[in-house]
Structure 1
Amino acid sequence: MAHMNRSDKRRQSGVTLIEVLVAKVILAGGLLGAAAVQLNALKHTDSALMTTQASFIAYDMLDRIRANPAADYAGQSAGSGLHGVLGQDLSDFKRNVRQFGGASAKGSIAINERQVAITLQWDDTRAGGQWQTFSLTSQIASGFAVGAS
């Protein structure tokens, strides 16, 4: 058994090449799988980032509404020639929504008595091209202007 003749050595060297080929095929499949997982992770990370940015914009607007209780945020739009704090707040909100979600993104503010609802919608193309929505609803102190949604 310690001594092999020439024909046994040739046969064994062929088996080694097949083993290397099988190992390379398995490694290639594993690398392709890892790449697919990485691409999926990038897609979902970007989608989560967009949702986080939407929440920052909505909370910023809610803080502005609480800081300026006499203004009617729901009854006005940023393009209606408003001046002062209300006009600046609505202009900033509109600009923030467009910078975050592009020209097709939408933001709305609805105030019903003491309840404020701020909604942002954007096209999340990296997450399957679906429209995503973030809504923030909060109670505010009395004395705020009531506006139509």
Structure 2
Amino acid sequence: MFITEVNRKSPKRASGFSLIEVLIAVVILAIGLLGVAAVQVVSLQQTNNSYLQTKANLHAQNIAERIRLNGGNSLSTSEVSEVEAEVEESLGSDATVQTALNGSLATITLTWEEKVPASQESDGTETRTFVVEARVAPL
């Protein structure tokens, strides 16, 4: 017995996703992930900048305390060298420290170079300045 007739029904419309739909979804996902990566880069830069500013604040407070311990007088040459070495180690070799005493008020200025995104106007670094005024001797 031979079966000569084959049941040939047209297949139902295929269910699922076509290749073009999958490719479009992957492209949209890739664009979204690039956006997330860009936000992550900016977040890391801002975190680093905040970290450096916190270090500058700690150094300025340290200098103010040293002046207070000196009875409101300027720091000795060895203390200045020590402070400058600490600041350069912490904020970079281009960091500078300036102190000015005006009676019982000390103005402490720290300056350093910070990395920023490079652009046509910038070479990728920006000078940051942190100034603290502290009363270092009783009135």
Equivalent position SS for 2:137: coil
Fraction of identical pairs, as percent: 33
Which residue of structure 2 aligns with residue 76 of structure 1?
A: none
Report the TM-score, using the length of structure 1 for normalisation: 0.74
Give the whole-Å Cα distance in 2 for the aligned partners of 1:49 and 1:7: 63
Candidates 136, 141, 149, aligned match of 2:137: 141
Give the unaligned 5+ runs of structure 1: 74-85, 144-149
Question: Given that residues 46 and 126 in structure 1 are in contact (C-alpha distance below 8 angstroms), is that contact kept between their aligned partners in structure 2?
Answer: no
CA RMSD of aligned residues (A): 2.2
By percentage of residues, which structure has more helix? 1
Which residue of structure 1 aligns with residue 115 of structure 2?
A: 125
One-letter amino acid of the counterpart of residue 73, structure 2: A
Which residue of structure 1 aligns with residue 40 of structure 2?
A: 38
1:70 and 1:112, CA in 2 relative to 1: closer, same or farther beyond 3 A? closer
Alignment of 1:55-70 (within 5 A): 55-69=57-71
Which residue of structure 2 aligns with residue 147 of structure 1?
A: none
Q: Is the aligned partner of 1:49 residue 2:51? A: yes
Which residue of structure 2 aligns with residue 91 of structure 1?
A: 81
Give the whole-Å Cα distance in 2 for the aligned partners of 1:45 and 1:123: 15
One-letter amino acid of the counterpart of residue 6, structure 1: P
Question: Given that residues 72 and 136 in structure 2 are in contact (C-alpha distance below 8 angstroms), is that contact kept between their aligned partners in structure 1?
Answer: no
Report the TM-score, using the length of structure 2 for normalisation: 0.79
Candidates 85, 92, 97, aligned match of 1:107: 97
Equivalent position SS for 1:8: coil
One-letter amino acid of the counterpart of residue 93, structure 1: V
Equivalent position SS for 1:49: helix
Q: Is the aligned partner of 1:22 residue 2:24? A: yes
Question: Given that residues 107 and 121 in structure 1 are in contact (C-alpha distance below 8 angstroms), is that contact kept between their aligned partners in structure 2?
Answer: yes
Give the unaligned 5+ runs of structure 2: 1-8, 118-123
Deviates more, 1:134-143 or 1:114-123: 134-143
Of structures 1 and 2, the one with the larger relative CO (CA 8 A, separation 6+) is 1
Give the whole-Å Cα distance in 2 for the aligned partners of 1:131 and 1:88: 27
Give the whole-Å Cα distance in 1 for the aligned partners of 2:74 and 2:18: 79
Question: Given that residues 101 and 107 in structure 2 are in contact (C-alpha distance below 8 angstroms), is that contact kept between their aligned partners in structure 1?
Answer: yes
